[in-house]
Chain A
Amino acid sequence: MDLIFVNLIDGLVTGLLLFMLSAGLTLIFSMMGVLNFAHASFYMLGAYFAYQISLAMGFWMGLLLAPIIVGVLGAGVERYGLRRVHQYGHVPELIFTFGLALLIEEIVQFIWGKNNVAYNAPEILQFSAFAIAGNSIPAYKIFMIFISVSIFIGLLFILTRTRIGMIIQAALSYPRTVEALGHNVPLIFMGVFGVGTGLAGVAGVIAGPTLGTFPGMAFVLGSIVFVTIVIGGLGSLWGALVASLLIGWITTFAASYNIRFEDILLSVGFSMPENMAESPFRDIWNMTTPQIGPILPYLLMIIILVVRPHGLFGKRDA
């Protein structure tokens, strides 16, 4: 029972981290129709910039500066790259971001090398906040929860309570009308792209110390972010939040509890093959939930797309 509570907290941390990535992506996606494949690369850049800054000025300056640099970089990519490709249609845009992701990974390797870099949490947060039945919850995790929740509240406030938020929401659905009203839609696009990538940068800054900072970190997270926003429904901030938490908890619980398929199959009424070593289905019988945990989100996504193509909270088709 205690372990369930601990798992809930761990899943929350994973989910909120995912949310910081998917929040920006879902805005970008719904506004510009771009599946930004390089989104996770900006997350990686955030971690590396923060590492570089923390060497000179400490963790906190990294937390402050790295996301801003990443955001400016992202806005630059939109202005000088995507906007140019935009005229050719959505597929070239997507492929552009795809190539960009590859290029960023190579450049990161070129600059920082191919190894893990020693990017660590600040001393002040390296203690155990509290423990539940012998399982300590590091203070850094509480810090991560705090940061991501404040970002969610901030975003929600900006999008629903401020004028700029209203314009963004309007531009999501009717860009031409908004443009006709005298708003500078390309500027809004650039701003949203910058903020979205900046958010990914924040995620990178705070995830780097716990999940490791290495050139493959974008690839590990890359496609799962898409899965999140598709499950949540495009353009929906709430959807992104719910889907992120869902995925966080699914993967955490699948990893925590060893449920054997043997037990499931037996309880449904299948009988054990007599000669397990020869049976072509032996691998299914030997499967456990931790083995398949990380691919469950993909399965969930396929089911959702087939049953409800606009996702959990989305208003239009993915």
Chain B
Amino acid sequence: MTDQQITTDPAKPAQRMRAGGTTVTLMPWILAGLVLLVLPFIFQSNSALTIMNKMSITIIFALAYNMLLGQGGMLSFGHAVYMGVGGFACVHIMNASEFFSMLPLPLLPIFGGLFGMGLAMIVGSFSTRKAGTVFAMISLGVGELIAACSLIFVAFFGGEEGVSGDRTYALPLFGIEFLRQIEVYYLVAFWLMLSAILMFLFSRTPIGRMANAVRDNPERAEFLGYSARWVRFYSFTASGFFAGIAGAMFAINYEILTEENLNLVTSGTILLVTFLGGVGFFFGPIIGAVVFTLVQTVLSLQTDLWAIYAGALFVATVMFFPGGLAGLIMMHGPAAKLGKLHYLVLPYLKTLIPAGIGILGVCALVEMTFHVRHASIGSNEMTLFWTTFDSHSLMPWAVAVAVSVVAFWIMRRNLPELVAAWHQANGVAKDKL
């Protein structure tokens, strides 16, 4: 393997997923572990813990999904079922009181993983024969079938109200019964670290490397003597295993699983999350999961229109940064290596601050339109960005329009400067290479 520069051309997936050398630096992992340890001391409330648990679960699931999409080049529209089935299995284990009372709760995710893997092996046996659209459509069909079955087969899936259990009936581990949210947080965090490390190591095994090869050029992979189909099958099975673990974490955290965990909306969401974060890098889905959870849970506390903003953010990401948020960050790799990032700081400030203000201005216009259309008669007052005003008067509209226009104008004016700075920071890099 030659010493490759990290390329930033998102148009070439072949170049994106390169492994950056065989030496695995430990620093990021230690840092991540420390962050996970310290977070609950900063964010102490139960709701913050709940949101962080939700994030962790989404991260595991998104990483598992990216084993397919990013590393294996397989697009799945029904991946929620592997997480869901793993989770349902865990809830049923929770309800099997005799067995569960002999099982320490931290071991439960293994069972979730095994069930997810089992289902993935069954489905994978016929779905991984082809990649591309055939795989995608089979995953859609299987996803829809299992989601529909969940309402029909009430014995296992519990119908609409789902199946619930109680995690505290497990064998107490060192006297911990997982009654408190903080205990659950550390359990989830532990499994998050463990599965992230395992998934990372998987991507570094020969089979993980072959998955990349099969993704980029199945024919050449076959010439090397690897069966493209079996390589896909192994990736799919492994992904099912980790999705099952995510399902188990869900079961432990929420103690209930419903049809929602299986349906196409959940499958679609994880696709969005993964892509938003960036499929080209291992840590991409982590960013995606964090950002999306914040948008979904925290932004939705602020506005009913959160889904519009989420949709717009997503479409903009696909259109302008196909490498996702991670790709955006890694674009700065070459400049950082050359120590020329400081060239970019000022131009960034000059464009991004006006851009941010402009976007907020447009959001204000949207919110005001919504308020005028939907607020009750007589309540003309609305509060936006810490100011209260009358949404039926001309003034706030004029201000919002003016702010947006001016901000975007400044941004446009400063944009060439940013482009120039970008070339300056990276251009010399090309000379050196």
Contacts and interface: CB of A to CB of B under 8 A. Distances in A.
B319 A283 contact: no
Interface stretch (A98-106, A123-131, A191-199): A98-106
Interface in A82-96: 84-85, 87-89, 91-92, 94-96
Given A91-B75, A223-B144, A299-B141, A291 B134 contact: no
A166 interface: no
B308 A292 contact: no
A280 interface: yes
B322 A226 contact: no
Contacts of B153: 283-284
A94 to B, nearest CB: 7
Given A94-B75, A305-B134, A89 B315 contact: no
Contact of A85 (B145, B154, B279, B318): B318
A197 B319 CA distance: 20
Interface of B: 10-11, 13, 69, 75, 77, 126, 129-130, 132-134, 136-138, 140-142, 144-145, 148-149, 152-156, 264, 268, 271-272, 275, 279, 305, 307-308, 310-312, 314-315, 318-319, 322, 366, 370
A106 B140 contact: no
Nearest to A100: B315
A95 B152 contact: no
Given A102-B307, A295-B144, A318-B134, A96 B318 contact: yes
Query: Which 5 pairs show the lowest CB-CB distances between chains A and B?
Result: A103-B311, A88-B322, A99-B314, A298-B141, A295-B148
Interface in A59-113: 81, 84-85, 87-89, 91-92, 94-96, 98-100, 102-103, 106-107, 110
Interface residues of A, number: 44
B311 A106 contact: yes
Interface of A: 35, 81, 84-85, 87-89, 91-92, 94-96, 98-100, 102-103, 106-107, 110, 223, 226-227, 230, 234, 280-284, 287, 291-292, 294-295, 298-299, 301-302, 305-306, 309, 317-318
29 contacts: A35-B136, A81-B315, A87-B11, A88-B10, A95-B275, A98-B271, A99-B272, A99-B318, A100-B315, A102-B314, A103-B311, A103-B315, A106-B307, A106-B308, A106-B311, A110-B366, A110-B370, A223-B77, A223-B140, A223-B264, A234-B133, A283-B153, A295-B148, A298-B144, A301-B138, A305-B138, A317-B130, A317-B132, A318-B132
A161 to B, nearest CB: 30
Contacts of B129: 306
Contact of B272 (A98, A227, A299): A98
B155 A287 contact: no
Given A99-B315, A283-B155, A305 B141 contact: yes
B11 A299 contact: no
Nearest to B77: A223
**Interface of B, helix, strand, loop or mixed by DSSP:** helix
A100 B317 CA distance: 12
A102 B311 contact: yes
Given A81-B319, A280-B155, A318-B133, 13 more contacts: A88-B322, A89-B11, A95-B275, A99-B318, A102-B272, A102-B310, A103-B311, A110-B366, A226-B137, A291-B152, A292-B152, A299-B141, A309-B130
Contacts of B133: 35, 230, 234, 317-318
Contacts of A299: 141, 145
Contacts, number: 117
A298 B136 CA distance: 13
A94 B156 CA distance: 34
A285 to B, nearest CB: 11
Residue among A92, A287, A295 with the most chain B CB within 10 A?
A92
Nearest to B123: A302
Contact of B145 (A91, A96, A281, A298): A298
Contacts of B268: 98
A27 B98 CA distance: 58
Given A317-B130, A317-B134, A318-B137, A110 B308 contact: yes
B318 A92 contact: yes
B137 A301 contact: yes
A48 to B, nearest CB: 16
A41 to B, nearest CB: 11
B371 to A, nearest CB: 12
Contact of B318 (A87, A95, A298): A95
A264 to B, nearest CB: 15
A92 B322 contact: yes
Contacts of B314: 99, 102-103
> Which has the most chain B C-beta neighbours within 10 Å: A35, A96, A99?
A99
Contacts of A84: 319
Contacts of A91: 69, 75, 279
B141 A282 contact: no
A306 B138 contact: yes
A252 to B, nearest CB: 18
B154 A230 contact: no
Contacts of B312: 103
A299 B145 CA distance: 7
A28 to B, nearest CB: 13
Contacts of A306: 126, 129, 138
A107 B308 contact: yes
A240 to B, nearest CB: 15
